[in-house]
Chain A
Amino acid sequence: MKRIGVFICWCGSNIAATVDIDRVIAAAQKMSGVVYADQNKYTCSEIGQAMIKDAIKEYRLDRVVIGSCSPRMHENTFRKTVESAGLNPYYLEIANIREQCSWVHKDKEAGTAKAISLIRTAVAKAAMNEALFAAEMPITRRALVIGGGIAGIQAALDIADTGFEVDLVEREPSIGGRMAQLDKTFPTLDCSACILTPKMVDVAQHEKIKLITYAEVDKVEGYLGNFTVTIRSKARSVDLQKCIGCGECIAKCPSKVASEFEEGLVQRRAIYTPFPQAVPNKPAIDRAHCRFFTAGKCKVCQKVCPADAIDYEMADRLLTNQYGAIVVATGFDTHKLNNYGEYAYGKHPDVLTSLEFERLLNASGPTGGKILRPSDGKEPKTVAFIQCVGSRDKAKGNPYCAKICCMYTAKHAILLSEKVPGSKAFVFYIDVRTAGKDYEEFYTRAYEECGASYIKGNVSKVFPDGDKLLVRSVDVLSGALVELSVDMVVLAASVDARADAKELAQKLAVTVNAHKFFTEAHPKLRPVDTQTAGIFLAGMCQGPKDIPETVAQASAAAVKVAAIFSKQSLLGNPTVAEVEPKLCSGDLSCMAVCPYGAISEQVVEERRGREMVPRKIAQVNAALCQGCGACTVACRPGAINLKGFTNQQILAEVDAICL
């Protein structure tokens, strides 16, 4: 007979308010196998853990059941407690009486009854818990960083600086990402390129970093410490080894297409580098727009190339590498404004998005840093900035706040006043949010010193009116109607997760939220981890954030990776499948359903009568098994079982619930 100890946590009033702890204890004491039951205000506290350890010794407990918060919260904490008292950590069972009981039921009677049932279930399972031992696994000490924006760059540099190898994969021909498109950065107004390009160069020159541009992640297999990743290196049509980056080909290319980097304000060639400071500063051929690939003849770039670097025959290559950890830093897209006909975007050339306006401000942008109207090339004297376009809009946009727009609009207003003397910025806002170091001061500067006029009121419609734009709104604070004639309108378009974030999430087996931003393991305490061990998040791909936050998260992700790599070996998951050879019929249905290829065939010698005959049975590679249990159901003779979640344990739980 097992000697089970039951410990019920009050969690302050979180559990105790809806569950009658004394009644639960009284019921637990009557359960089969329970020799001790007690309560504690905070079981996870040092006192609470000490109580468990003392009770284990005093009452010679060999199984422990804790009724507390979700096992997803404190299972590891309590496993360590149990282990330090000399028991196998897997002798512990947790009954989730907070998240799945006291927090969701208001009636104390029902809550208490359910808590007792949950404890009974956990006791029934715990009685069958066996000692489990984790296998040691080797670690591949090379990291993969997906995305070469500021988040990916920072993560790669930080990991590389700890001495571990990093591969940085970027989809575009150059790293740099969104930050490379920006002019100045808030709240210090330092030039984005001046702080970013040195880091880009560092990445290119770092001996521990391998840069793989113009490439995408195709397939991810494996697990923490041992991921196998297939990277599709897209056909660049330019041999990076031979290319000397002279730019002759770009100058002579006859095909033109809207430049993505310049937000479509100007055209680039079909053979192109996205921007002058690109890393690597070597072009790629955009085959969808190249005259040779679309019309069959041209080859001008090949003719002018002094290094013989153009290769039209180049095909996509699949690179398969081993990695111990992955940092996802894929960034964001700007919100498409198709749903906002009232703002006349696309109907009038002087209605711009903020990122387009950013390019006008940028010294290397299409206007050389002068703010000029796309329609007539004149300087706008009055500019209306419209906030929350597609943000905080549950009707036809994103319900969330894009976080960065208040601050970059304050920046735009300040820069407008500097670049166009005598100009006036009108900022139409719903709320101005400036939580951040020196942010409020920066915003104050926009309206106190730089003359920006802030109007609380969402613009309802923008009417093109000759060479002017008529902006209709209301000043919510005074109730006055607003009808302003301006020279330019700038729309603070919301930020979206990458359109293909979901596909990448599926490849990585991580989750995304309703808006396709990657989900962190815990919103407060594990903001960098994903639910999948060994995969970490950095930057906007996890949710809207500004550059300082992105960089901080990237460095945090790097530390997480380095922490894994600095271990001698990793402890595997001991809740793996196990074959009972006597029962195995050898039909290997299990092998077919295993997603990890962890099951293989083995031949055992069995005595039949007087002779030994060979027989085929299944065997599980514990290092590969991830413990999903799909095989256990496929097995007809019931020979394969999942440790920690055995058939017997689950049936015992069912029985206890239905008692």
Chain B
Amino acid sequence: MKVITEKINYNLLREVEEVSGQKVSACFQCGKCSGGCPVVWSMDVLPHQVLRYAQLGLVDELLHSKTLWICASCQTCDSRCPRNVDIPKVIEALRLIILRNKGGNYLHPNDLPARVRENAPQQGLVSAFRKYAK
């Protein structure tokens, strides 16, 4: 990865801060969140790196990470954070940004077999279109 001007997206960062109510710049990268995370072994971007990427304005990178969907929101990180950054809320904000984003659905309704289309719960289907739209 390379940090280049074109990749830096402070507007998206501002949106993350607004939606989460968290101050991403408060993090000083001590790593206590990642050290204690119970599901960290399966993450591609570690919790402290989520905040680091966000600080750098590389929010797009985060929107494509598996971590967002692995975080269990167990709040272990948040309860130990010396800087009062609620990381689950930041991750939740990133998830929301994806889900709110219109278009670019992961699944297209027409690609679904007719049988599934009829019987599957509609809410679940819509969620699936959005959720996997990473």
Contact = CB atoms under 8 A, between A and B. Distances in A.
**Touch test A–B (CB under 8 Å):** yes
Interface of A: 342, 388, 392-397, 430-431, 456-461, 472-476, 479, 481-482
B22 interface: no
B28 interface: yes
B35 A460 contact: yes
Contact of B28 (A392, A396, A481): A392
Contact of A395 (B35, B48, B49, B84): B84
A397 B30 CA distance: 15
B32 interface: yes
Q: Which of B40, B48, B76, B80 has the most CB of A within 10 A?
A: B80
Nearest to B33: A460
Contacts of B82: 388, 392-397, 458
B28 A430 contact: yes
Contact of B30 (A430, A472, A479, A481): A430
A431 B29 CA distance: 9
A30 B20 CA distance: 56
Contacts of A456: 29, 31
Nearest to A471: B35
Contacts of A474: 31, 34-35, 40, 46, 48
A430 B29 CA distance: 7
Contacts of B83: 393-395
B73 to A, nearest CB: 17
Nearest to B30: A458
Contacts of A479: 46, 49
Contacts of B104: none
Contacts of B35: 457-461, 472-474, 481-482
A580 B40 CA distance: 79
B9 to A, nearest CB: 22
Nearest to B32: A458
Contacts of A461: 35-36
A485 to B, nearest CB: 15
25 contacts: A388-B30, A392-B28, A392-B82, A395-B81, A395-B82, A395-B83, A458-B30, A458-B35, A458-B82, A459-B35, A460-B31, A460-B32, A460-B33, A460-B35, A460-B37, A472-B35, A473-B35, A474-B34, A474-B35, A475-B31, A476-B34, A476-B48, A481-B40, A481-B41, A482-B35
A275 B112 CA distance: 81
Interface residues of B, number: 21
A431 B82 CA distance: 14
A640 B35 CA distance: 68
Given A461-B36, A481-B41, 5 more contacts: A431-B28, A457-B30, A461-B35, A472-B36, A474-B35
Interface string B76-112: 1000111110000000000000000000000000000
Interface in B43-87: 46, 48-49, 76, 80-84
Contacts of A388: 30, 82
B36 A457 contact: no
A481 B34 contact: yes
Contacts of A395: 81-84
B84 A457 contact: no
Nearest to B29: A476
Nearest to B41: A481
A457 B28 contact: no
A476 B84 contact: no
Given A342-B36, A481-B40, A458 B84 contact: no
Contacts of A459: 32, 35
A458 B85 CA distance: 15
Q: When A and B form their complex, which 3 residue pairs have the shortest distance between CB atoms, in order from nearest?
A: A460-B36, A460-B35, A393-B82
Nearest to B28: A430
A515 B36 CA distance: 29
B81 A473 contact: no
Contacts of A482: 35
Contacts of B34: 457, 460, 474, 476, 481
B113 to A, nearest CB: 41
Contact of A394 (B36, B46, B76, B84): B84
Contacts of B29: 430, 456, 476
A457 B31 contact: yes
Contacts of B48: 474, 476
Contacts of A481: 34-35, 40-41
A455 to B, nearest CB: 9
Contacts of A430: 28-30
A243 to B, nearest CB: 49
Contact of B31 (A392, A393, A396, A476): A476
Q: Which of A342, A394, A458, A459 has the most CB of B within 10 A?
A: A458
A456 B28 CA distance: 11
Contacts of A394: 82-84
Interface string B3-36: 0000000000000000000000000111111111
A481 B40 CA distance: 8
A457 B32 CA distance: 7
Given A461-B36, A481-B41, A342 B80 contact: yes
